[in-house]
Structure 1
Amino acid sequence: MSIWQAIILAIVEGLTEFLPVSSTGHMVIASSLMGISAFEFTKMFTISIQFGAILSVVVLYWKRFFTSLDFYKKLMTAVIPALAIGFALKDLIFSMLERVEIVAISLVLGGVVLIFIDRWFHDRENPVTTPSYKNAFVIGLFQCIAMIPGVSRSASSIIGGLTQGMTRKSAAEFSFFMAVPTMLAATVYSVIKDLLHLEISDVLTFNLPKIQHGFDSITPQEWQVLLVGNVVAFLVAMAAIKFFVGFLTKYGFKLFGYYRIVVGLVILLLLALGVDLQIV
């Protein structure tokens, strides 16, 4: 993977990770059109640069992360369903991850939902701004729907927040906060397993020889690509979050719904034309 290819993928990641448009679908198109979707490093890279996107949330909302212990308890309450269901259904989830058509169909169906979501949920006169533990758990259940590739973690968790009486803005922001532990766990796991080729037990037991060997197996060019990718994803994600919150508050979800449908149909068209698309 060249630096320019890494920058393009990082821009795509930063733009789409926190918007309700499915970053997976966009990564499928971008990496496949550049001819790098089959590379093992590409698959690991697309997960690892999520760290840069995660960091953008922490930087933009740093005061929220120093409010109280209760904030973290609610985040963990929201993440528990994904951890439990993800572990129980991991084989099914991995099998779905191999099917690009599922991504396309999910994009289209999710787009239809977003077109009508503003009619179903209106901001209330006395909205929920700080979710309770029950609210957080229900939102976490909605986030699990995103285990279906193409659904979008952001979209499912925001809709979950709307069902709990939150405003579009507060639901979106809580979705950002939920992304930190969820995506951080996925990123750390990917780095350990796919980049360093280690077992979790090696890290937990501080197996220094294996850990050192894992780091030595990464070339200087790969470290450079990862660094550039994370920096770009961080900067772009910051801009995307600021745009999304303002746009969502003023205009709602409809435009994102239409956009999802277009992207999903593009993927289906490419598949029909015999283009080799792979989920990275």
Structure 2
Amino acid sequence: MTPLEAVIIAIVEGITEFLPISSTGHMIITSSLMGIASDDFTKLFEVAIQLGAIVSVVILYWKKFFPLNRWRFYLKLLVAVIPALVLGALFSDKIDELLESPMTVALSLLVGGVVLLFIDKLFTAHHIEKEEDITFKKGFIIGIWQCLAMMPGVSRSAASIIGGMQQKLSRGLAAEFSFFLAVPTMAAATGYKLLKAFKETPEILKDSHNLAMLALGNVVAFVVALLAIKFFISYVQRYGFKLFGWYRIIVGVILIFLISQGYLK
């Protein structure tokens, strides 16, 4: 992986991680277009640079994460992340296989886009406006919804936001809780992927060039994610999710065409 390729993928990660358009799907397609999708380090890189995006959430919402004595907040996130931890551990190999399929990404983008077009009409009773009013039960159910994102192209952000709105959270709070939930979810996924790479392909993490690319990718993802989060919260509170729904549908249709014509494998 070259520095330019690392920067491009990190920009894609930073922009798409917290938007309901699937960061994993976009990185898979970006890597495929650059001809590096099947490389072991690229697969690791696409997960590891999520750390940069995680830090951006903690920085933007530092009052929520600090001081550390807010035990109910942390316990709520722990309960919500349990479904993803369990299913991720059980089906990690199958998930890795799906990550290599652009067609899976294209179809998921298309279907998810249709859902986002109608989400505001499907869930109209949004009376929960504060994080403190999210019960442990609601947090757990949102965590179950988040598991849909194990299918590439679904979008972790979209799945957890839809789950939040189904549990009567306002659009803004559903988006924010999705950000909070991303921290333990992505930290666990990144830690697992790094540990697996250390055990199975340690030479990847011993390569100084690879380490430099990981550092570069995380810095870029951090900066871009900061800007993307601010934009998303402001936009979705005003206009809802239709723009992201249409975007997913258009991209999904284009990808299916490219795959059918042999331009994308």
Contact preservation (8 Å) 2:84, 2:147: yes
Higher radius of gyration, 1 or 2: 1
2:72 — aligned with what?
70
Query: Does the CA contact (< 8 Å) of 1:54 and 1:180 recur in 2?
Result: yes
In the alignment, the residues of structure 2 paired with residue 24 and residue 88 of structure 1 have an alpha-carbon distance, to the nearest angstrom, of 20
TM-score, normalised with respect to structure 2: 0.93
Task: Give the AA of the match of 1:110.
Answer: G
Asked if 2 retains the 8 angstrom alpha-carbon contact of 1:106 and 1:151, the reply is yes
Query: What is the distance in 1 between the residues matched to 2:100 and 2:208?
Result: 30
| CA gap 1:88/1:190 in 2 versus in 1, 3 angstroms | closer
- Does the Cα contact within 8 Å between 2:60 and 2:226 map onto a contact in 1? yes
Contact between 1:74 and 1:133, CA under 8 Å: does it hold in 2? yes
Return 5+ residue gaps in structure 1 as ranges.
Answer: 200-212
Residue 134 (structure 1) aligns with: 137
Structure 1 runs of 4+ with >6 Å offset: none
CA distance in 1, matches of 2:232, 2:205: 39
CA distance in 1, matches of 2:16, 2:206: 28
What's the CA shift for 1:273? Answer: 1.2
Does the residue aligned with 1:122 lie in a helix, a strand or coil?
coil
SS at match of 2:38: coil
- How far apart are 1:58 and its partner, in Å? 0.5
Per-residue CA deviations over 1:82-137 (Å, capped at 9, x if unaligned) read: 1122333445434433432121111000000000111122364x424221101101
Q: Which residue of 2 aligns with 1:111?
A: 113
CA distance in 2, matches of 1:27, 1:43: 10
Q: Of residues 147, 171, 174 in structure 2, which corresponds to 1:168?
A: 171
Q: Percent identity?
A: 54
CA gap of 1:161–1:173, structure 2 versus 1, over 3 A, is: same
- Gaps (5+ residues) in structure 2? none
The aligned amino acid for 2:58 is V
Change (3 A) 1:164 1:217: closer
Q: Is the 8 A contact 2:24 2:46 kept in 1?
A: no
* Separation of aligned partners in 2, 1:39 and 1:158: 32
Q: Deviations over 1:15-43 (max 9, x none)?
A: 00110001122112211221211221111
Match of 2:240 in 1: 252
Separation of aligned partners in 1, 2:175 and 2:55: 17
Whether 2:136 is the aligned partner of 1:148: answer no
**Equivalenced residues, count:** 261
3-state SS in 2 of match to 1:37 = coil
Cα offset, 1:219, TM superposition: 2.3
